[in-house]
């Protein structure tokens, strides 16, 4: 309906009655009335169930957990002495960011929080590339190779909730998830910035419509067609449809003058073979006829050294291989395969990994040296790795711990490579959001009022807690006390508190547990959670112990949602992992110490071992995790059952470990609004409405882990060093050493030990 038609449209009596009835009943109005009753300048938009233009405005503080400056302390000194101090610490300039958490909260906090100032000082965010989970069949599960076998790791609860929120209602929930994040990304981009969104046939039409609406059709900058197989076989003879053999990368800009550079295509082997002539200095070139060149043009080319004269005296124009380039068009058929070939050196154990060539072209086209680029669904870290190699600054985020861990290892590898080649690189830090909202975002469907929704949420949260307590064999406090307060249950003389279902338990939640214990006069408490923030332990346990509280954190397994497992008592709540590390002193140098990793214990269980054995079919095998060990279960075609333990030594669980030789040398400081100075633990972190808050530095009471030495497994090398290089302290004294271990699932554990030198 045009504006003119709307202006002269009269509601009929029946339409007025229908509208009044719908409004009285609190029901939504049919879509046609939106165009009749309200002015709307958009000509075309995508509409889906539950669409809202509200976006997240929460601002949470970023908590820096780990710094990786120069990757190995004993490596050759960096040539960037203006950027790093003698210890290898970056002393100025932008530090790259690898952030673990929900990218909606991350984007909102980057947009309106204190890190925005750093982004602007770095020149603004010039490029965003995202590869969102457009495959409805995808999830956060992971295949892990160990002992020549494959273990299928199921996603944790946070990842399952993220998957549900993305695909729980099919396309509606995917579009809703992406819409809010794209709005935040647009607001974070610089005016000269661009965004590239990778998608396939499932969602490309939806994504194009979203980008048109959010960025504007005038800001459409084209799209890349990436043919998955350079040489495809096409459709099978009996196929009923055209083959789905390509993906799209859609490009939009924030403003009307985005950065865009010429990008050349890589030459194929047959094209390179054309350069078969060689100058005396060894430069390869090919020759072409001069055609209609004038005598003056030929003379100019000759003066420039671009004329080749054959033995017969015929003149040709030279094209040098090292200067030759072919403009890249928007159909890419030369990217090898879909994803990364299993034989490639790039290959990582990550199912959605993309080739570096794709990202190199995007980054070179839409950013310049020193520009800031970002990927908010970073996966295996390809965007960050390529950005580092090309001299760009970067931000990379992901919800999955395994993705963050994979990216960490990959970027350390890039740092090492660049350092070895004498090329520049930057430090990076690992962050997460230091405070999460504790409201349980449980799945409450239907159109409910605010009060009804809150009541439904409370009821679901209560049912959830009762289920956890029953699986833990704990008695609900509500059953024995009229005022249970903060805690949820008790078991064997210990209080039990359950963390939020949808978010990691962090430092502030633990501090609240300690405060409530002291109010109640309690000294023993079990803290149950699906996930704990990275780097949380052992610092908070030491803090609790110092206040006379025995705090035991335990992981809640996914099996709590299996009623049969709960009824049979098969649910196992496992402890956090345990590290043993030992200092080795140098008898000749009293200031020199090495740290040796001497033990690592995990307690994971995924699924019930007995149930898996019973359900195994003849001729099949399965790898299961039980009590911190991986077992291969196999049943022959004759029905003979066999169980083999794959984890034969504690080192099988260690994927990565790192050491900070002076852990308490750098305090963990976050930015918080000045208005929170009175009561930071209880107040919200959101700035006042309509104004940017003034921020101040605030010490959390913890310390940063400065990653000075590390050893980890790669696809190419499965070896793990168990003893660090020698660290030489400058001054005598007692030092706290932090040792961090990351297991094959991507979960981190840390321990502290004291060394005395001099």
Q: Which residues contact 453 (CB under 8 A, 6 or more apart)?
A: 444
Q: What is the pLDDT of residue 441?
A: 44
Strand partners, 645: 631
Tokens matching residue 75: 């490596």
Cis peptide before 339, with omega less than 30 degrees from 0? no
Q: What is the pLDDT of residue 465?
A: 87
Distances (CA, A) of 521 to 128, 491, 517, 682: 51, 17, 6, 21
Tokens matching residue 136: 């409805």
Please compute the mean of the pLDDT values over residues 433-449 and round it to a whole number: 56
Please report, in angstroms and rounded to a whole number, the separation of the first and last CA atoms in the chain.
84
Q: Which helix (H) or strand (E) holds 5?
A: helix 3-7
Q: Which of 430, 427, 568, 355 is nearest to 90 (CA)?
A: 427
**Could you give all domains of the chain from N- to C-terminal order, each with its CATH number?**
3-37 (no CATH), 62-233+242-263+328-433 (3.40.50.150), 269-326 (no CATH), 450-499+504-556 (no CATH), 573-660+726-758 (no CATH)
Q: What is the pLDDT of residue 84?
A: 67
- The structure's pTM equals 0.82
Q: What is the pLDDT of residue 683?
A: 42
Q: Do the beta carbons of residue 634 and residue 621 sit within 8 Å?
A: yes
Q: Do the beta carbons of residue 548 and residue 554 sit within 8 Å?
A: no
Among 91-100, 375-384, 417-426, the range with the most confident prediction by mean pLDDT is 375-384
Among 69-78, 539-548, 565-574, 611-620, the range with the most confident prediction by mean pLDDT is 539-548
Interhelix angle 103-112/171-188, rounded to 10 degrees, is 20
How many Å apart are CA 576 and CA 602, to the nearest integer? 7
How many Å apart are CA 68 and CA 405, to the nearest integer? 13
Q: Which helix (H) or strand (E) holds 249?
A: strand 246-253
Q: What is the pLDDT of residue 161?
A: 73
Q: Which of 562, 434, 570 is nearest to 508 (CA)?
A: 434
Residue 533: band (very low, low, confident or very high) from pLDDT cuts 50, 70, 90:
confident
Q: Which of 513, 553, 507 is nearest to 534 (CA)?
A: 507
Q: Which of 13, 146, 271, 219 is nearest to 631 (CA)?
A: 146
Q: Do the beta carbons of residue 221 and residue 214 sit within 8 Å?
A: no
> For the chain, what is the mean pLDDT?
84
Q: What is the pLDDT of residue 306?
A: 93
Question: 456 exposed, middle or buried (CB, 10 Å; 0-12, 13-18, 19+)?
Answer: middle
pLDDT over 70, % of the chain: 85
């Amino acid at each position: 309906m045009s504006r003119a038609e709307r202006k002269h449209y009269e509601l009929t009596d029946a339409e007025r009655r229908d509208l009044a009835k719908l409004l009285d009943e609190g029901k939504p109005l049919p879509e046609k009335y939106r165009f009749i009753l309200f002015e709307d300048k958009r000509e075309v938009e995508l509409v889906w169930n539950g669409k809202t233009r509200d976006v997240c405005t929460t601002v949470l503080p970023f908590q820096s957990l780990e710094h990786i400056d120069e990757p190995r302390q004993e490596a050759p000194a960096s040539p960037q002495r203006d950027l790093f101090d003698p210890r290898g610490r970056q002393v100025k300039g932008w530090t790259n960011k690898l952030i673990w958490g929900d990218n909606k909260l991350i984007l909102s906090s980057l947009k309106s929080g204190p890190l925005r100032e750093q982004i602007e000082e770095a020149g603004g965010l010039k490029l965003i590339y995202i590869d969102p989970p457009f495959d409805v069949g995808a999830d956060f599960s992971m295949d892990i190779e160990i002992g020549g076998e494959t273990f299928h790791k199921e996603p944790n609860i946070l990842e399952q909730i993220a998957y549900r929120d993305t695909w729980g209602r099919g396309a509606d929930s995917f579009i809703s998830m992406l819409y809010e994040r794209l709005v935040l990304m647009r607001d974070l981009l610089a005016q000269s910035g661009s965004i590239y969104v990778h998608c396939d046939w499932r969602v490309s039409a939806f994504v194009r419509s979203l980008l048109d609406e959010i960025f504007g059709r005038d800001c459409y900058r084209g799209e890349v067609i990436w043919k998955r197989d350079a040489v495809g076989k096409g459709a099978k003879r009996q196929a009923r449809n055209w083959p789905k053999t390509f993906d799209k990368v859609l490009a939009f800009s924030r403003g009307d003058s985005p950065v865009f550079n010429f990008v050349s295509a890589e030459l194929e082997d047959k094209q390179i073979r054309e350069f078969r002539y060689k100058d005396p200095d060894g430069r390869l070139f090919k020759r072409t006829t001069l055609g209609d060149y004038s005598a003056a043009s030929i003379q100019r080319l000759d003066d420039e050294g671009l004329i080749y004269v054959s033995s017969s005296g015929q003149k040709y124009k030279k094209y040098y291989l090292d200067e030759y380039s072919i403009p890249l068009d928007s159909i890419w058929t030369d990217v090898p395969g879909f994803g990364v070939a299993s034989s490639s050196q790039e290959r990582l154990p990550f199912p959605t990994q993309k080739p570096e060539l794709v990202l190199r072209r995007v980054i070179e086209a839409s950013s310049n040296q020193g520009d800031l680029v970002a990927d908010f669904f970073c996966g295996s870290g390809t965007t960050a790795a390529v950005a580092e190699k090309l001299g760009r600054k970067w931000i990379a985020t992901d919800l999955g711990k395994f993705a963050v861990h994979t990216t960490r290892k990959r970027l350390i590898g890039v740092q090492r490579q660049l350092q070895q080649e004498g090329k520049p690189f930057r430090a990076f830090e690992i962050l997460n959001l230091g405070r999460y909202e504790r409201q349980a975002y449980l799945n409450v469907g239907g159109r409910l009022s605010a009060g009804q929704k809150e009541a439904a949420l409370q009821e679901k949260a209560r049912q959830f807690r009762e289920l956890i307590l029953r699986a833990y064999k704990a008695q609900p406090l509500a059953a024995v006390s009229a005022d249970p307060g903060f805690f949820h249950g008790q078991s064997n003389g210990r209080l039990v508190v359950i963390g939020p279902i949808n978010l990691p338990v962090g430092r502030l939640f633990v501090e609240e547990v300690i405060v409530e214990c002291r109010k109640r006069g309690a000294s023993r408490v079990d803290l149950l959670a699906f996930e704990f923030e990275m780097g949380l332990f052992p610092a908070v346990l030491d803090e609790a112990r110092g206040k006379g509280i025995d705090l035991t954190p335990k992981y809640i397994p996914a099996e709590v949602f299996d009623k049969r497992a709960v009824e049979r008592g098969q649910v196992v709540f496992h402890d956090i992992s345990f590290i043993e590390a030992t200092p080795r002193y140098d008898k000749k140098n009293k200031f020199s110490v090495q740290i040796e990793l001497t033990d690592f214990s995990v307690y994971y269980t995924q699924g019930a071992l007995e149930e898996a054995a019973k359900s195994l079919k003849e001729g099949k095998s399965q790898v299961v995790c039980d009590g911190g060990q991986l077992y291969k279960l196999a049943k022959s075609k004759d029905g003979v059952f066999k169980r083999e333990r794959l984890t034969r030594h504690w080192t099988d669980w260690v994927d990565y470990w790192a050491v900070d030789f002076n852990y308490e040398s750098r305090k963990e400081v976050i930015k918080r609004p000045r208005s929170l100075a009175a009561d930071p633990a209880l107040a919200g972190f959101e700035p006042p409405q309509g104004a940017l808050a003034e921020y101040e530095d605030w010490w959390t009471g913890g310390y940063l882990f400065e990653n000075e030495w590390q050893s980890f497994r790669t696809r190419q090398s499965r070896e793990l060093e168990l003893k660090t290089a020698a660290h030489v302290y400058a001054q005598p004294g007692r030092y706290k050493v932090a040792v961090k271990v990351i297991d094959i699932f991507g979960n981190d554990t840390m321990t502290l030990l004291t060394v005395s030198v001099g």
